[in-house]
Structure formats: C-alpha cells, structure tokens
Amino acid sequence: MKPFKKRRRGGTTATFEAAEAHLLASLTSQVVELLRDRNAAGESDPDPLAVQLGLGGPAEPPEDPVLRRLLPDAYRAESFRGADEDAADFRRLTERSLTSLKVQNAETLLASLITGGLTPGLPTEDDPQVEVELDAAEVQAWLKALTDVRLSLAVRLGIETDEDAQLVAHSDDEATAAMAEIYDWLGYVQESLVVSLD
C-alpha cells in the first residue's frame, strides 16, 4: 500500500495492491452483514413509522460479542439505579439509526474501492492496483468504517490492551498470528489516513 496523502487540488488518495483491497473489502463486507442482520425490522413491529425513522429497534443488547462492542449499552448497570431500563430504552430508540450509519460508512468505503478499480471475485496477479481518492466526507466514513472493522477483529482476537495485542501477535497458532498481522495492517491504514489530514 502507498500511504494516504493529500493532493494539492483537494482530496486524499492512497494506492492499494489488489490483494489488500480485496482483504479490506471482505472484512468490511463481513461487518456490514453482521450489522444488517441486527438491523432487520421485527416481523410484528407495531409502529411502521418508528421503523421508517430508525426508531423502535431491539431493547436487548446483541448476543454476538462483536455487535456488543460495535453497539454498546449507553449506560452501565452499576452506574446508577435503573440504568438497565434506561439503557434498554436508549437502545430501542437509537440502535437502528446507529446501525444504519455504520453500514452507510462501510458502504462508502466499499464504493471507493470499486471506483478505484477493485475487480469483483478473487484477486489474481493480473489485477491492477486500486487507487482511492476521497473527499472530506469519505475520509470521515473511512475512518469510522476502519474503526468498526478493527474493533470487530479485536473482539474476535481477544484484544483489549496493548499487552493482549503483543500476545496475539506472537501466538503459536498461525491463523491467530495472521489475523493479528491484519489487525496491525488496518491500524497502519487508519494511521496513514489520519496523518494525511495534517
């Protein structure tokens, strides 16, 4: 990957190898799929207007640990008396719109990759590099989508601290070590994008 940089005429650009772009697209698509599954309207939702406005979502936190990290409770139960009920109400009123925003950010990232030359299907040696050029709104969408993808990987890898990240990176399990490398690479992509904004 050639890191992100600002162009004089405006916009922020980076170049990805085809395999990198495919990896990023695959991970982002997995997060979208998780979020869309959670965002599905209930079959017996009594208020269609609430659904159209992004309200009326589930009151219970998700069972999937990744979704629990991406869609956390607004209040902790130990914070104050009645926090559980307030968290449930807040989730019911806001989760659907939050989930939709996360999906929209991820779709912006995916669209940028496609516009930049990402070819459908599995990557081959003949695939061209993918050059993305982002405007200010797309930069923000990328930063948010990359955060969601990294958080998802961190949950699956059990990373909560820098020490956890080091342990996972030196794992004897090849698959875990490979995922740790991807987690680090995503951090590099995100840092590159942040640095380009200065």
Locate the domains of the chain by residue range. 2-42+95-196
Which pLDDT tens digit goes with each residue over 122-151? 777 788 899 999 999 999 999 999 999 999
Mean pLDDT value across residues 179-185: 96
For the chain, the three-class secondary structure string (H helix, E strand, C coil) is: CEEEEECCCCCEEEEECHHHHHHHHHHHHHHHHHHHHHHCCCCCCCCHHHHHCCCCCCCCCCCCHHHHHHCCCCCCCCCCCCHHHHHHHHHHHHHHHHHHHHHHHHHHHHHHHHHCCCCCCCCCCCCCCEEEEECHHHHHHHHHHHHHHHHHHHHHHCCCCHHHHHHHHCCCCHHHHHHHHHHHHHHHHHHHHHHHCC
How high is the pLDDT of residue 45? 47
The per-residue pLDDT for 164 is: 92
Q: What is the pLDDT of residue 173?
A: 94
